[in-house]
Structure 1
Amino acid sequence: MDFDSARGIDRRRLVKWGGLAAAGVVTAGAPLVSPGTGHGDSAPTGSSGHDQMPRDTLPGGAYDRYVAQLAAAGKFSGVVLLSHRGRTVLSRSYGMADQEKGIRNHEGTAFSLSSAGKPFHAVAILQLAQQGKLRLSDTVGTHLTGFATDIAHQVNIHHLLSGTSGLDSPDEDVQRVFQSRDEVHEYYEQRARQAKLVGVPGTPTTTHAEAEVTISALIVEAVAGTTYWDYIQENIFKRCGMTGSAFYTRPQWLTDKHIAHPYMKLADGSVVDAIRNLDKGSPSPYVLGKNPGRAFIDAPGDGGFATAPDLVRFAHALGDGTLLDRPWADVLTGAKIPHGPTSFGAYGIPIKIVNGQWMYQRAGGNPGVGANWSIYPYSGWVGVILTNGDSDSVSLVDIIGQQTQAITGAPAGGAAGG
């Protein structure tokens, strides 16, 4: 449901809240959360520089000041959170979740995830593979009917998850206003069936194919016998204790005081609540005409809503066996495709080596929406950034870079690239 940047594209050029991007996450071999010496262990351990708590991530540090200055200048609305080995070290909330009703953002506010929710479909596929209900070598035709012969016989689940399917999707009707879950499901299933095989399966590409995500979700539904949304709710959100997370519908987005509204900047410079102004769309060339509120519910395989603490719970559950046995977690996060000198593609998430350590990260965006979660497995850090307002001068990538610099010491300009 959002604009998802691909490998090797300049994210700083693409991302001004509304035109955002997928920015990376993961590897095999290192635990997703460093075991350390226990929860709340925030002091330097002396065993490794990676185990020391960066001073700049403490309240009052450079990262905290940076985000506060953005908020004071009207350039940031949302929540930032840093967790170190299960202990919240920094949690800040700025701006309004619903200006009309005077509801402020807070730690318990749920934000639209856009592409930051895409890894859920990869986790779901691997859960079913772990149970022996499917194989990553299964072709599309093994589980689904009605697809073109070349797609059904040549494209397999590994291709879908690694972004190497060779598929191309038809243009999306960004003006359409959906009125039900069934309508959303039917539309995106039909679009997936209209996808064309334009490349050689297994070959890396530089474009994101929406059909890869939708077809993966359809396979989850076919194998599990339930809707994608219900599967994720039961087998990811519920397992992780993500009580503030769900695939909320537009009526809930409008009325639930715990959900942040997206504030979208228009061509004339004015800012509107996208949910309350479905007739208006973004002027950004990367998401031209889009309005996230037109979706009744996020497309199968994409999006969802989550709070910052819930995303920390998800990060920990990836590594402690809650979601996947360790070998299957390694399958999820292992480097599959080289994208750059230090960046690689995994399943549903790019990954990057930053200043000698892995950074796992996934970002997403739409008009008025920006979301990112980052895992630093060598040091036990998890960072979350959730926003609900467009900014012309500051991108989500800029804030990710500052976060990564605080934790790894890497220059902010290169932390989220690749």
Structure 2
Amino acid sequence: MDRRQLLGWGGLAAAGVAAAATQLAAARPGHAAPAAAEAHAVPPATRPGGAYDRYVAKLAAEDRFSGVVLLSHRGRTVLSRSYGMADRERGIHNHEGIAFHLSSAGKPFGAVAILQLAQRGKLSLSDTVGTYLTGFTQEIAEKVTIHHLLSGTSGLSTPDEDLQRVFQSREEVHEFYEGWARRAKPVAAPGTPTDHSGAEVAIPALIVEAVTGTTYWDYAQEHIFGRCGMSGTAFYTRPQWLADQHIAHSYMRQADGSRVDAVRNLDKGSPDPFQLGKNPARGFIDAPGDGGFATAPDLVRFAQALGDGTVLDSPYAELLTGAKFPHAPQGGGLRDGRTTPADASFGAYMMPVSLINGQWVNGRAGVNPGSVASWNIYPDTGWVGVILGNHDDVPFQEIIQREIQAVIG
């Protein structure tokens, strides 16, 4: 697995969107302060000035973090901190209203879109790819189902991408990835867990388009972001990324130790051997089913909307994060060999879900050159944690682990 697969699919910390998300209250940040009894339930490490707060502040002081961290308890913001610059050239600081690149942390939106159509009777999760799309081999069209794609068990490969290509329009991006998805090949029987196959992300987005008659980007904007009140979240284009002062630029570390603005330097690429030469700004817009930009409060709103029936009826919200298959056990009590301890971890729809110290932790994380993103939902206690960053050198695994420790202990 390359670094994008490792960080994106595994989520680094337990991921998914709470199977028991109905426990999250519908209250919005900024409402009345919690009752005294509820305040006692807030772990000291998560309060302003607590261990987690001090840890992130130290990273920022050492130039090892630039971005936003947010912790919300039952809809009320408990901790919100912003560090560093969103746009150094224009002197714009990071703050809660800044949108950050999500990378793989945006993939669950595609699963939500499919489940919305399923609950409306527009499709069935047992339908095969060929029910809606043409141009795929018979082995894929007739044997790979929507369930296989969403659960990461399609057995499909990820076609090679042209990391040097600079796209110039939404239409060009769409045409490329529509053809790119059709180049996927079966490498295992359907039902076999697949290592974060890109085709498993692109094909469901194409199915959404075939069923609705609109682009995936527009569908998600109206039926997910719009319903949730996620006013700062969108599939922004590169011209918007350059012009809008509410979008954080991604700063990539170069081989000489400097950082460059990816959006203003399309000729520059990442020296990271796992993403060699990649620059996320070369895509005019993120591929259908992937990425997007979001603010930290918007990701909390998304978590709340999953719990109160805004975007999915309760049975389908539970289906989104229900454990589909167990991940292989790892030595030392660590989930998937990473630094976050877990009792057990399972594949779900476009995300893993984990049990840590007997509690469900669900969310998703993603990494691209110059950006990191993570959102976790703790359904048993009503917590949501968000980490959004816009430069390289962030100890991402460690920050997520510290968040989990702060909330769960």
- Displacement of 1:36 in angstroms is 11
Q: Which residue of 1 aligns with 2:34?
A: 41
Q: Which residue of 1 aligns with 2:163?
A: 174
What do the CA deviations read for 1:354-408 (whole angstroms, capped 9, x no partner)? Answer: 11100002000100010000100011100100000101xx421110000000000
Distance 1:214 1:299 in 2: 8
Q: 1:317 aligns with which of 276, 301, 305?
A: 305
Q: Which residue of 2 aligns with 1:408?
A: 408
Q: Secondary structure at the match of 1:4?
A: helix
Q: Does 1:111 align with 2:100?
A: yes
Q: 2:345 aligns with which of 334, 343, 346?
A: 343
Q: Is the 8 A contact 1:27 1:335 kept in 2?
A: no
Distance 2:189 2:12 in 1: 23
Alignment coverage as a number of residue pairs? 391
Q: Is the 8 A contact 2:59 2:65 kept in 1?
A: yes
What do the CA deviations read for 1:302-352 (whole angstroms, capped 9, x no partner)? Answer: 000010000000011011100000001111010001014400010011111
1:121-160 equivalence runs, <5 A = 121-160=110-149
- Displacement of 1:267 in angstroms is 1.1
Q: Is the 8 A contact 1:22 1:350 kept in 2?
A: no
Q: Does 1:237 align with 2:225?
A: yes
Residues 335 and 300 (structure 1), Cα distance of their counterparts in 2 relative to 1, 3 Å cut? same
Q: Secondary structure at the match of 2:5?
A: coil
- Displacement of 1:166 in angstroms is 0.6
Q: Secondary structure at the match of 2:148?
A: helix
- Displacement of 1:44 in angstroms is 4.3
What amino acid maps onto 2:4 in structure 1?
A: D
Distance 2:279 2:13 in 1: 22
Q: Which residue of 2 aligns with 1:414?
A: none
Q: Which residue of 2 aligns with 1:5?
A: 5
Q: Does 1:190 align with 2:192?
A: no
Q: 1:330 aligns with which of 298, 318, 321?
A: 318
Gaps of 5+ in 2: 330-343
Q: Secondary structure at the match of 2:263?
A: helix
Q: Which residue of 2 aligns with 1:412?
A: none
Distance 2:268 2:310 in 1: 42
Distance 1:42 1:363 in 2: 32
What amino acid maps onto 1:107 in structure 2?
A: E
Q: Secondary structure at the match of 1:275?
A: coil
Residues 380 and 107 (structure 1), Cα distance of their counterparts in 2 relative to 1, 3 Å cut? same
Q: Which residue of 2 aligns with 1:70?
A: 59
Q: Is the 8 A contact 1:168 1:197 kept in 2?
A: yes
After TM superposition, the score normalised by the length of structure 1 is 0.90
Q: Which residue of 2 aligns with 1:281?
A: 269
Residues 36 and 236 (structure 1), Cα distance of their counterparts in 2 relative to 1, 3 Å cut? closer
Tell me how large the CA RMSD over aligned residues is. Answer: 2.1
Distance 1:192 1:106 in 2: 37
Q: Secondary structure at the match of 1:389?
A: coil
Q: Is the 8 A contact 2:181 2:199 kept in 1?
A: yes
Distance 1:36 1:104 in 2: 30
Distance 2:32 2:138 in 1: 52
Distance 2:17 2:167 in 1: 38
- Displacement of 1:26 in angstroms is 3.8
Q: Secondary structure at the match of 1:197?
A: coil
What do the CA deviations read for 1:233-269 (whole angstroms, capped 9, x no partner)? Answer: 0000000000011100000101100000000001111
What amino acid maps onto 2:134 in structure 1?
A: T
- Displacement of 1:169 in angstroms is 2.2
Q: Is the 8 A contact 2:98 2:246 kept in 1?
A: yes
Q: Is the 8 A contact 1:337 1:345 kept in 2?
A: yes
Q: Which residue of 2 aligns with 1:296?
A: 284
Q: Does 1:215 align with 2:203?
A: yes
Q: Is the 8 A contact 1:28 1:331 kept in 2?
A: no
Residues 20 and 166 (structure 1), Cα distance of their counterparts in 2 relative to 1, 3 Å cut? closer
What amino acid maps onto 2:21 in structure 1?
A: P
Q: Which runs of 4+ in 1 moved over 2 A?
A: 2-6, 19-46
Q: Is the 8 A contact 2:70 2:80 kept in 1?
A: yes
Distance 1:32 1:162 in 2: 22
What do the CA deviations read for 1:135-167 (whole angstroms, capped 9, x no partner)? Answer: 000000001111111100010000000000010
Q: Which residue of 1 aligns with 2:259?
A: 271
Q: Secondary structure at the match of 2:323?
A: coil
- Displacement of 1:108 in angstroms is 0.2
What do the CA deviations read for 1:174-233 (whole angstroms, capped 9, x no partner)? Answer: 00000000110111111101110111100123x211011100000000001100000000
Q: Does 1:200 align with 2:198?
A: no
- Displacement of 1:296 in angstroms is 0.2
Distance 1:334 1:102 in 2: 44
What do the CA deviations read for 1:42-80 (whole angstroms, capped 9, x no partner)? Answer: 64459xxxx821011000000000000000111100000
Q: Is the 8 A contact 2:86 2:92 kept in 1?
A: yes
Q: Which residue of 1 aligns with 2:390?
A: 388
Sequence identity (%): 68
After TM superposition, the score normalised by the length of structure 2 is 0.92
